[in-house]
Structure 1
Amino acid sequence: MSIGLIGKKLGMTQVYTEDGNAIAVTVIEVAKNQVIQVKTVENDGYSAVQLGFNDKKESRVTKPMLGHFKKNSASAKYVLREFRTAEGEEIPATGTELGAEKFEVGAYVDVIGTTKGRGFTGAMKRWNFSGQPASHGHMMHRRTGSIGCRLTPGRVWKNQKMPGHYGSERATTQNLKVIQSRPEDGVILVSGAVAGFNGAYVIVRHSVKQKKAKAAK
């Protein structure tokens, strides 16, 4: 798998095409991704590249982690992520900085993030239930309704859709097109929305399903 980048979701806006059509885009900051460590089959049992993103004060890093950063000629970072590398793939040296130039305009990417946490919610919001009748005299407008039965085995089945914690889950938005790539600003603009709040960390990687579709053709 090709090396991706760690980014920060800055928010959404819109851009106009040459035809005058407006496209909703998400702005993702990807500047100064630094190669922290290169893992090899001989030393680690698998081939991967560890990237770091968002500079951090050395005073706020534990001594073992600070030693890890300095050993690989890198500055302290808030976020570390690994990307598996394929056999024969060109691997950058430790300390190398990667940015928006890695993704060309027109390329398709997958963006992995964490959805917004919404706390404890009812079944209608959590599972998109249509709800009970809202007419006069009815007493179960937004309640779940029956969850069991009196027949054998006469119990509530597992995985029943009920109220509970909603959000704060890992989510991958696939096949988003790179509308603009701005290395000078350190950002890329991808079509559509991605999971997470403004300021949340995300992972941007080359699309997996687009590659399979092209291979099938």
Structure 2
Amino acid sequence: MSKLIGMMGRKLGMTQVFAGDGQVVPVTVLEVGPCTVLQKKTIKREGYNALQFGFSPNPLSRLKLPEQGHVKKAGLSHGFRYIKEISVDDPDAFEVGQVLTLKDMDMSRLVDVVGVSKGRGFSGTVKRHGFSRGPMGHGSKHHRAVGSVGQSAYPSRVIKGRKMPGRMGGSRVTVKNSMVVDVRPDDNLLLVKGGIPGAINQLIYVRLK
């Protein structure tokens, strides 16, 4: 059977485990799968090979009518909160309605984890870019201000790309080469070393190297 190169899941939180040599290893616990195949896409029909699968069941009453029809066509009685496509070599190795778990992934020692970082709202340059602050004494009028952003004469404008205050976080972040500490396929759990961007229960995507 063809193996998957990635699967959706969610971040459950962080904890620590003890390695064989007694070292404490900080890990992020990820619930990976189960995902259900909704549609197979082939080169003959769509021009490329891929699988469309859903994660996190959602009642039909919460879906729009076109989405309900798409789910019913796959022979399912419920929908999903998240739907994603993933490239595969042989879509015919999978069946529509098949439930995919960690056992269907040829897990390697290193994985890439894609998530969405926590949104921080409109942030200043000290928090957003790590700028140094000014003196905090009573006489100072420059505590956490931006400072100079350009020249008064030439070129008389702010150069594009200047680091300034703005929206921080809430963006797609990929953590590459995360070390797999433990795999528990019976519980759909994957433990990776270190932190993963996003809040608890945030949607993540685990991609094999």
Per the TM superposition, whether the score is higher than 0.5 is yes
TM-score of the superposition, structure 1-length normalised? 0.88
* Deviation sequence 1:48-99 (CA, Å, 0-9, x none): 111100111111112211111121234411100111224x587422111112
Offset at residue 108 of structure 1 (A): 1.1
Partner of 1:73 in structure 2? 75
Asked if the contact 1:2/1:205 (under 8 Å) is kept, the reply is: no
1:66-215 alignment, distance < 5 Å = 66-74=68-76, 75-86=78-89, 91-103=93-105, 107-207=109-209
Asked if the contact 2:11/2:199 (under 8 Å) is kept, the reply is: yes
TM-score of the superposition, structure 2-length normalised? 0.91
* Deviation sequence 1:105-129 (CA, Å, 0-9, x none): 6521111111000111111101111
Partner of 1:7 in structure 2? 9
Mean alpha-carbon deviation: is it higher for 100-109 or for 193-202?
A: 100-109
Mean alpha-carbon deviation: is it higher for 23-32 or for 96-105?
A: 96-105
Secondary structure (helix, strand or coil) at the match of 1:132 reads: coil
* Deviation sequence 1:29-49 (CA, Å, 0-9, x none): 123211111111111121111
* Deviation sequence 1:175-199 (CA, Å, 0-9, x none): 1111111112121111111110001
Secondary structure (helix, strand or coil) at the match of 1:43 reads: coil
Give the total of aligned pairs.
Answer: 206
Q: Which runs of 5+ in 1 are unaligned?
A: 208-217
- Alpha-carbon RMSD across the aligned residues, in angstroms, is 1.9
